[in-house]
Amino acid sequence: MKPLSAPPNWNSGLSALAKFGLLIFIGGAVYSIAQTVASLLRGSISGAVTTAGLAVFFCAAIATVVLTLTVSGAEANSIWNGVGTTVRVDPSIAWAWGVALLGGAVGSSCYLVFVSYGDTELPFATTGRGGPGRYLLSALLLMSIIGLIALLRTRESGRLRFSIDGVEHADMFRTRSARWEDLIDISDRSEKSARNPIVFSTNDAKPIVVPNADRFGVGGPALYWMARHYWKHPESRDELHDGRALDRLLTEDFEQV
């Protein structure tokens, strides 16, 4: 069977903004590793611990991006049961992001603690108050704590479930659902410029946007056409509860309509 093509508005490359962000992560990783080595050479334990934490953050963030672009595996991360057919983001992505957040929390909190005691040997700590790095790392600490709490609460970075009644999407921060009869369109274009999305539009609520949908399923495209198939064919939705829908997803057995 011929593999399904990607939706028209999906692309396999990185956006300009994503490329810029990746370059920042790479630059941050190189700088943090160099600063860790420099701190060890001059015997600054506080500097080494702080920059090592930041190095973990940047390196794990790079790993998260790479995994997001390359990892899929519908059979290993998909199930069907009486609730419906559920596909999940590969857990390695959640693990990588969790390590990044932990490194960010350690590095930023150490920085803020050490500069409060007047340590000026840390990066950007040109004054006893921490200099401009204080504000950047305060933001990183806040982001890391919020992300870690959300990740510990959900234990996964995302899932998408189809049932006879409708669809449900969950990420680290919230869960949204919609009934099939309330959907007016399923498209591949998001107003928020999400990368390779599946967008479930309804009449009376904000669209449910599943970003990076190519992380799910067999590379993603089959999942998009699966969503449209069961939206357009209510008579086939019992397949979602007996394993046939998952078999069709794995073999990409859907029409591109």
Per-residue pLDDT tens over the stretch 11-44: 877 777 778 888 999 999 999 999 999 989 988 8
pLDDT of residue 125: 54
Instruction: Give the class (CATH, top level) of 159-251.
Output: mainly beta
More confident residue, 164 or 44: 164
Contact, 252 vs 3, CB < 8 A?
A: yes
Quick one: which of 219, 222, 224 has its CA closest to 252?
222
Over its C-alpha atoms, the chain yields an Rg (Å, rounded) of 22
Counting Cα atoms < 13 Å in the Cβ hemisphere of 206 gives 6
Alpha-carbon 44 to chain mean position: 35
CA atoms within 13 A on the CB side of 50: 29
| pLDDT at res. 119 | 64
What would the pLDDT profile of 62-91 be if each residue is shown by its tens digit? 998 888 777 655 556 788 898 999 998 888
CA distance 220 to 204: 27
* DSSP designation for 72: -
Average pLDDT for residues 99-116, to the nearest whole number? 92
Cα–Cα distance for residue pair 228/162, rounded to 1 Å: 11
**Better-predicted residue by pLDDT, 198 or 158:** 198
- Strand ranges, E, within the chain: 78-80, 85-88, 159-162, 166-170, 175-179, 183-187, 198-202, 208-210
Higher pLDDT, 176 or 6: 176
Whether the pTM exceeds 0.85: the reply is: no
